Amino acid sequence: MKPINVGLLGIGTVGGGTHAVLTRNQEEITRRAGRPIQIVAVADRNVERARELVGADVTVTDDAFSLVKDPNIDIIVELIGGYTTALDLVMMAIENGKHVVTANKALLAVHGNEIFAAAQRKGVMVAFEAAVAGGIPIIKALREGLSANRIQWLAGIINGTTNFILSEMRDKGLSFETVLKEAQRLGYAEADPTFDIEGIDAAHKATLMASIAFGIPVQFDKAHVEGISSLDAIDIKYAEQLGYRIKLLGIAKRQVNGVELRVHPTLIPTKRLIANVEGAMNAVLVQGDAVGATLYYGKGAGAEPTASAVIADLVDVTRLATADPQNRVPHLAFQPDQLSDLPILPLEEVETACYLRLRALDKPGVLADVTRILADLNISIEAMIQNEPAEGEDHADVVLLTHVAREKDINAAIHKIEALQSIHGKVTRIRMEALNG
């Protein structure tokens, strides 16, 4: 049978891994797909390096637009990244009737609605398993494996850089800045780590998962995003004492009046499996009404883990290339005319339990003032740690765990507590999730 011809845009870490795995496992992949899948052309700025990687049988160019216009290419694999040139290339590939496989979570989180609509009009597929959680097949699980379920919520450790940093801070008691430098030295963090440590990368991925889980348009601009750069090692220590671990979670929850979509550091009970995901590994926990809780765990980045997802998409597209477009799996799991208009809820309306740490003057009545403020706002306390002041100091840390309360009430309480003369500095607040199904 005629092979499927692939044009590869970008042959860096993931592109090189894709070529290597496709070449190494060619026979197995062909048996699965029903026909050979072959990379026939590569576009990369570093033409010489690209030629060394792919050999003489593959066309190599620095003109990516020539590939998306080439009538002999069936599928474009976009591994360039970014929002600008990648968008132009993807849209042109779709316009020219080519299927697209991409690992570009940022592009889809920001421009996904536009891209999917164009693909629907042209009758082509846009596959993006590699855009979320590397080699973990979470997109396929949400889109197909759990299609019988009304998905209630999902929570994921979906950024390996931040998980590595948090694991090291907990294990070694080091500061964020110290561990970040080590992560950069080891290659886990970029020279400019902003997208990772400020939660943006995780929010891109959470946005895509939320859209598939709940059948809503992609709405990255509505996500609440917090990173870990202001996290203090002392809070990780106190969390451990209370039976919790702190992870940067991407969370999406279905509520009656809308969808929660948020990324932030989160206390999770240590006994939960996801709390014990360490280092650069990823994990996503999904709660469905029929199946209950399911956990997906594995490598969230790297050349061959991500290539595994890229090639899985190539196999899917190859199998379905000749199918009636109306009978393919929809991009966002639900039929395009059946997407819901459930809004993304503002954070002020979200309800969570919270960890609060404050520096309080060591004198009678201070805690009574704090608990009175909380009680007036219907916030109850679940647990507390009260330390003695260090020698020569008159303030000490007080840590409170609250029961579930509305975000805006917690905000009001923090504002009033910080205004007390007996409280020094800002109150540290970290949200909590039970994740108990």
Q: What are phi and psi of 61, to 5 degrees?
A: -145, 165
Q: Is residue 155 part of a domain?
A: yes
Query: Could you tell me the two tokens for 39?
Result: 């990379």
Tell me the pLDDT tens digit for each residue of 158-213. Answer: 999 999 999 999 999 999 999 999 999 988 889 999 999 999 999 999 999 999 99
pLDDT confidence of residue 193: 95
Residues 6+ apart with CB under 8 A from 272: 435, 436
If you average pLDDT over residues 381-385, what whole number do you get?
95
Q: Is residue 113 part of a domain?
A: yes
Are residues 39 and 126 both part of a single domain?
yes
Tell me the pLDDT tens digit for each residue of 345-361. Answer: 999 999 999 999 999 99
Are residues 28 and 129 both part of a single domain?
yes
Query: Could you tell me the two tokens for 85?
Result: 């040139």
62 by DSSP, 3-state: which?
coil
Measured CA to CA, the distance from residue 95 to residue 88 in angstroms comes to 10
Domain of 56, in residue numbers = 4-137+303-338
Instruction: Identify any residues that bridge with 396 across adjacent strands, giving them in sequence order.
Output: 360
Chain position carrying tokens 């477009």: 325
Q: Is residue 62 part of a domain?
A: yes
Judged against a pLDDT cut of 90, whether residue 321 lies above it is answered with no
Are residues 132 and 247 both part of a single domain?
no
Q: Is residue 102 part of a domain?
A: yes
Are residues 176 and 263 both part of a single domain?
yes
Question: What is the tally of structural domains in the chain?
Answer: 3
Residues 6+ apart with CB under 8 A from 381: 371, 374, 400, 401, 402, 403
Are residues 13 and 121 both part of a single domain?
yes
Tell me the pLDDT tens digit for each residue of 28-75. Answer: 999 999 999 999 999 999 999 999 999 989 999 999 999 999 999 999
Judged against a pLDDT cut of 90, whether residue 316 lies above it is answered with yes
Are residues 277 and 398 both part of a single domain?
no
Are residues 103 and 161 both part of a single domain?
no
Are residues 267 and 191 both part of a single domain?
yes
Are residues 59 and 36 both part of a single domain?
yes
Sign of CA pseudo-dihedral 52, 56, 58, 60:
positive
If you average pLDDT over residues 222-234, what whole number do you get?
96
Here the CATH number for the domain that contains residue 360 is 3.30.70.260
Chain position carrying tokens 């969570």: 352
Boundary (domain end) residue, out of 312, 338, 364: 338
Instruction: Tell me the one-letter amino acid at 26.
Output: Q
Measured CA to CA, the distance from residue 245 to residue 171 in angstroms comes to 11
pTM of the entire structure? Answer: 0.95
Catalytic residue positions? 205
Q: Is residue 101 part of a domain?
A: yes
* Distance (Å) of CA 185 to CA 190, 295, 426: 9, 31, 33
Tell me the pLDDT tens digit for each residue of 258-295. Answer: 999 999 999 999 999 999 999 999 999 999 999 999 99
Here the CATH number for the domain that contains residue 16 is 3.40.50.720
Q: Is residue 343 part of a domain?
A: no
Average pLDDT across the chain, whole number? 95
Are residues 288 and 356 both part of a single domain?
no
Q: Is residue 437 part of a domain?
A: no
Pairing of strands 405-406, 126-127: unpaired
Are residues 195 and 294 both part of a single domain?
yes
Residue from 363, 360, 383, 380 nearest 371 by CA: 380
Are residues 173 and 284 both part of a single domain?
yes
* Distance (Å) of CA 178 to CA 166, 233, 237, 239: 12, 11, 16, 20
Alpha carbon dihedral 373, 374, 377, 380, in 10-degree steps, equals: -160
Judged against a pLDDT cut of 80, whether residue 364 lies above it is answered with yes
Here the CATH number for the domain that contains residue 156 is 3.30.360.10
Measured CA to CA, the distance from residue 72 to residue 69 in angstroms comes to 9
Q: What would you report as the CA-atom Rg of the chain, rounded to the nearest whole angstrom?
A: 24
Q: Is residue 27 part of a domain?
A: yes
Measured CA to CA, the distance from residue 31 to residue 3 in angstroms comes to 12
Judged against a pLDDT cut of 70, whether residue 437 lies above it is answered with no
